[in-house]
Amino acid sequence: MTGRSTTSPPRLLAGRTVLVTGASRGIGAATARLLGGHGAAVGVNYHSSRAAADEVVGAIRAAGSPATAVRADVADADEVQAMVESVRAELGPVDTLVLNAAGHKGAFAPRPLIESTVSELAALVDEQLRALLGPCRAALPDMIESERGCVVVVGSGMSTQPQPGMGLPSVAKAAADAVARVLALELGPLGVRVNVLAPGFVETDTSARFVPPAAREHLAKSVPLRRNAVPDDVAGAVLLLVSEYAGYLSGGRIRLSGGL
Ligand SMILES: NC(=O)c1ccc[n+]([C@@H]2O[C@H](COP(=O)([O-])OP(=O)(O)OC[C@H]3O[C@@H](n4cnc5c(N)ncnc54)[C@H](OP(=O)(O)O)[C@@H]3O)[C@@H](O)[C@H]2O)c1
């Protein structure tokens, strides 16, 4: 008998340093907590919700892992560079990125794509790609130093199955898919894995603001598993993708759809 509890979960990420963007709320917060619970040191990025980010940091530290909150607009290259440097200084070289924040500064009203301007579309694609490429560029030297690198992009089911009125984010997420695929090709020889996780509808405070309860119930009934995803579902899938058990998985786009 070792005296160790047989019920404590395995710490799959001991020795790893992870930066999760948009980790103050929703999917990012659940992911940061889960990865920290599995032994990773976690950089908790936020944009405006400092108190919420501090709460996530507190929960990770209480679970026994180091964590730090770091403010940055993921669409701003200088702020992203400073964020990665600050996480490195506090927690060590970043070997894993969970690129969850889409980088969109404002909410957009759902509307047909034909009623949107090319400039609006380009602006959303621009922000989304900055949120993806900026952290990768900034953390690449760390990943090479760690002799291990892993990037998970939180994409969306909409990139291949667009919904009416949601053309702008659908196109932006499709661009992110394409960039991630190229990064997997180009960074693979450096030991860096890149995958996209593409959830369908996920119950978060933000999604609840846009989709009324009746519509959310209707959505749940259309899912073979008969429920909508919650942030912990996405966090669990991220954990699988960043763990060593997925060591040969790169260039993938994994749908998290409940069977749809
Ligand atoms: N919810 C869904 O149904 C769903 C489905 C598929 C894909 N997704 C994708 O999942 C990701 C997270 O969605 P969510 O629903 O969890 O969002 P959320 O609840 O609105 O949380 C967004 C997070 O991103 C942060 N953020 C926003 N703009 C930022 C910026 N410019 N720089 C840094 N951080 C920023 C927010 O930080 P502050 O609060 O500090 O500003 C917050 O922590 C997004 O990429 C979204 O496209 C969501």
Does residue 118 belong to any structural domain of this protein? Answer: yes
Of the CA atoms within 13 Å of residue 168, those in its CB half-sphere come to 23
Does residue 132 belong to any structural domain of this protein? Answer: yes
Rounded distance from Cα 104 to ligand 1 centre (Å): 8
Reported confidence tier of residue 2, pLDDT bands at 50, 70, 90: very low
Tell which residue, 32, 106, 94, 39, has the closest CA to residue 69: 32
Does residue 12 belong to any structural domain of this protein? Answer: no
Closest ligand 1 atom number to CA of residue 157: 6
Does residue 220 belong to any structural domain of this protein? Answer: no
Q: How far apart are CA 106 and CA 210, in angstroms?
A: 13
Does residue 9 belong to any structural domain of this protein? Answer: no
pTM for the model = 0.96
Q: How many structural domains does the chain have?
A: 1
Closest C-alpha residue for ligand 1 atom 32: 73
pLDDT of the residue at 3: 45
pLDDT of the residue at 191: 96
Residue pLDDT, tens place only, 32-84: 999 999 999 999 999 999 999 999 999 999 999 999 999 999 999 999 999 99
Q: How far apart are CA 68 and CA 110, in angstroms?
A: 35
Closest C-alpha residue for ligand 1 atom 19: 26
- Pocket mutation for ligand 1, best pick of 57, 206, 216 (most atoms within 8 Å of C-beta): 206
- Among residues of the chain, what percentage have pLDDT more than 70? 95
Q: Which domain holds residue 183?
A: 17-212+225-256
Residue pLDDT, tens place only, 78-114: 999 999 999 999 999 999 999 999 987 655 678 999 9
With vertex at residue 95, the alpha carbon angle to CA 92 and CA 100, rounded to the nearest 5 degrees, is 110
pLDDT value at 233 more than 70: yes
Of the CA atoms within 13 Å of residue 115, those in its CB half-sphere come to 8
The sign of the torsion formed by the CA atoms of 51, 234, 73, 246 equals: positive
Q: What is the CATH number of the domain that holds 41?
A: 3.40.50.720
